[in-house]
Amino acid sequence: MTTSGLLFAYVVCLLAGLTGLAIYTEFRRRSFGPTPTEDHIFRCDTCSYVYTDDPDVDRSRCPHCGTMNDVFTF
């Protein structure tokens, strides 16, 4: 093999290894990372407390002051 052929094979093997490592890391992150919840986010109009509640709830009572609040949209 020529020098350029060896250099090309070295670079291809290095890039293949880095790609494999990136794919492996992404699969591990997805399998062990936290999953997003479907809960609704609420922000109290009275005390400005931010809290979550079940996805089937449209209005929720604030756990701090008891005021009923609508779903907060960003």
Model confidence, pTM: 0.53
Spell out the residues 6+ positions from residue 46 whose beta carbon is closer than 8 angstroms to its own.
62, 65, 67
Domain layout of the chain by residue ranges: 1-35, 40-70
Contact in structure between 26 and 42 (CB atoms under 8 Å)? no
Model confidence at 61: pLDDT above 80: yes
Q: What is the mean pLDDT of residues 13-21?
A: 97
pLDDT digits (tens, 9 = 90+) for 23-53: 999 998 888 877 778 889 999 999 989 999 9
Task: Answer whether 32's CB lies under 8 Å from 12's CB.
Answer: no
Q: Identify the pLDDT of residue 47.
A: 93
pLDDT at 5: 92
21, pLDDT greater than 90: yes
